[in-house]
Structure 1
Amino acid sequence: MTDLATKPQADEAPSGDPVDTVALPETAPADIDGGDPGYAWAPVEPAPKKRRLALWIGIPAGAALIGLVATSLVLIAPGTAIAGVPVGGLTPGSAAEAVQQRLDATTIVLTGAGRDAQVTGAALGATVDAKALADAAFADRPMWNPTAWFSPAIDAPVTVDPVVATAALRRAAPSMFTDPVAATVSFDAATGSFAAAPSVAGEGIDLAVVEKALHDAFATGQTRVDLPATSVPVDSVATTANAQAEAAKLNGMLDAVGFYVGAERTVPIDRAVAASWLTVASDDKGVFSVTANTAAIQASVDVLPGLIDRAPVNATTITDTAGNALSDETPGVVGRTLGATTGVAAAFAAQLAGGNAAYALPVSEAPFTTTALVRTIDVDLSQQRVYLYENGAVVQSWAVSSGLAPNYTPTGNFRIGWKTSMQNMGNRDLTQAPNYFTPDVPWVSYFNGDVAFHGTYWHSNFGSPMSHGCINMTIAAAKYVYDWAPKGVEVSVHY
């Protein structure tokens, strides 16, 4: 039999816990002195482990609380609605999607349109700024702020696309629509101008009423609403006012249309021809535009060289002895040559479409030269003769009649002044000075007060003094002087 030795107070071990034991030999070894046998105690048992059940229960609860707080930082407050759409507890992105989806699904039922026609918000092209509304809802009403919970609904203005909505309503209730007649612009050959034909209104469903009904239903959370179908006048988008404005613009273009060299409209284009190049139309928004036919313009471009090219014309200028210009005998004309015309028709077509009817041509110019003609008149009273000088050489000379005593022609240096092709000289009342009257005196060129060169039809005694102070000349000679000597030509009268 094996005896078991137990550690003192082993019976005090907690109930249910194992007690460490050790087996002893059946015969105990004797003491070295032969005394009582010795005893060996079992090793001391380790301290029992502490239980941590409360800790393992507390960790998940704390993590859940942290997660809840974190989640509240990205969600919209409970009880929040955008229009009639609850968005509490959603992220802004999810809220935006929910708002647009609800609007897309909201249905308008048109009653009394022959049959109840239905159109959805999606079919009407209805939109709200869902993202901006959702972002604003989150910014103003985050979940973490309890004071923002269950606040009043946020209004969401609804708009419909007019073109999309009209097409959807027309498909749903075609009997409610009559097409308007668009205003047009056309060329009137009788007046040579563009004119506008007015638009005529049609009928259709009032989009403003549909848009309001959709908004109200959406705002109150309804997904379906009845709307009595009533017709209203529908104006054409191509209005009379727009057509009149376009016609006025086109007529301004016709006033200026042509090919230009500098500021000069060198080659004007007939209004009817220019109008035949143009096509005027309006788009689905009622905006008028112009297109031009390049091939038609090309016919006018092909003849340009013969109308533009020219050689220079040299100028001759009449001057006095000091070189001051008195008049142009022959005006100078700059020569010009048209450059390449490739692409001109297409470029002009693009200009016309943009509203510019003045096409600047590419030309090279050749200058002209100017020759000065110094002209003077010499009256030799002792010879009773007039000499015309040009650049120091006599070009004409005639016998004349100067003033007869006591009305001598005054001597000195003068200039041609006022000229007239015909006038009466003297006084009809012969009792009054100068006591003579000569009607219809031709080709008069004054050079000293009332002293002039003039034609004489009442005598032919040229070479002898005969006048009241003027220089009498044959009618042909007087006209020559009149044409040859501009105002400012110097006149020398001497003996």
Structure 2
Amino acid sequence: MAFSADGESTAVLKPVSLDSFAVPMSADEIKSIERAPKRHLVWPWVLAAVIAMLAAFAGGAYWFFQSHALPGVTLWGNSVVGKSQSQIVDEIDSAVAKSSVTVSYNGNTAKITLKDLGLSVDSQTIANEVLSAKRDAAWWQRYAFWITSDVATEPANPAAADSTELNSRLSISEVKPVDAQVTLNADKTGFETVAGQQGQGADPEPVAKAAVALVETLGANESKTMNVELKSTDPVVTDKIAEQAKATLDKLTKNPVTLKIGDRTIATVDASALAASSTINANENAKLAAGETRNGYVVFSADKLQQYYEQSIKPTFSTKREDREVIVNNNDEEIKVLKEGHDGISITEGADANIGTDGATLLAKGGGSLDVQGSIDAMQTKKTKRHVVVDLSDHKVYAYENGKLIRTMSMSAGQGNDYKTGACGGDLCTPTGDFTIWLKYESQNMSGNLTLSDGTQESWDVKDVGFVNYFSHSGCAIHRIATQTAFNDSDIAAMGKNTSHGCVGIGWDQAEWFFSWAVYGTSVHVQA
């Protein structure tokens, strides 16, 4: 022990070795350390949660906007983002109901709505346009609120406003205009227009424009009082509108909606059906009634079309087939229809209950065909081929049906044809070749004047030549021989010479039969 200068004693200790503390751990202690919980990083889990929330939000937004107006969509400049179709319809209908315009004339005032002016607004169709806006764009553009799309479809056509209620409310004496019309033509195969007439009264168009402007604010604005002026008033359906409606109906007549069973057409919506099922509406944006469709200014009624089908088309169907019968010439051209014929048609019960609805839809689209369930017993076409052979060397006219000779007639040919050979040896010849009968007269006065090759003149003037059938365009015909009294087949055969100016003369007892049998288009072969 040592003493310090102050007299206090100071203890001096030996250095301590750390080795004395290094005691090895037991196996239990090691296991305890291994079982101790490890520390984990938290931020990756937070990031994953944020991403999941964003994905859920994006998915929810995508699902939501499938049935609601997309970001950036406006209607008449008013935002409708996130609104459903029914909400948009309600908002438009509410704006229409509140769109009253205060009008004044000679101290009389009244509030006039679009309905008072005979105008309606198809809020359903406009709402559909709103929901469709931007949906054709790229996916990222659809949901970009800074990319806008305004639906500006006019709620109603002010030019189609009717002044009747306006005149009544303001005590204005009115001369009513008369609408132009579209009517069936005389043969019921197409349409014609009847011009409208102007009237005199209040001018409804400025009032209608003001009401439309109010609707386009979606009820945000109110109207100021406006003075009504008198004018010569055009009819609602003007001549121009009627002409456009006629063009629509004419197009549907030329390319009609057809009713089919399989690939067989059983009926068409013809001009008469169109006239019975359509009306003209000058307001092309007017709200349609149930079962109505529109093609331009023409509105079709499914109920009226169904009624026309039930009363005028369906009764023409027969379950029993009737074959078509026609006459053809040597070129297989139809020259006369003896019987139109028809298919045997059996329609499955109830299969035609929606003809009106489906047909009106197709008429609005401009045409098409309707498939009807049923069966067809298809008609066949029975052909009778008729042709005539005129033989100049044996002085006969032969009538054939389906290759079978049915009548032989004696004849007198042109004076220029050699009686034995039939060859042409002068000016007044019957021409050889193939022809068709193109002109017919039951009776005709025949006259002519011809300078012959020797310089002499040949003139003729014969009255009441009977049963004339022209086959050549140079004026040659097969007709009753031009005699003053009856000259029959046997008389011609006994005559022994040609007497005509180029025509073929047959007996009085044969001519009427031949005239009836040899219809327009019948083939005529003339040979020497």
| TM-score tier after normalising by the smaller chain length | 0.3 to 0.5
Q: TM-score, normalised by structure 2?
A: 0.42
TM-score by length of 1: 0.44
Please tell me whether Structure 1 or Structure 2 has the larger radius of gyration of its CA atoms.
1
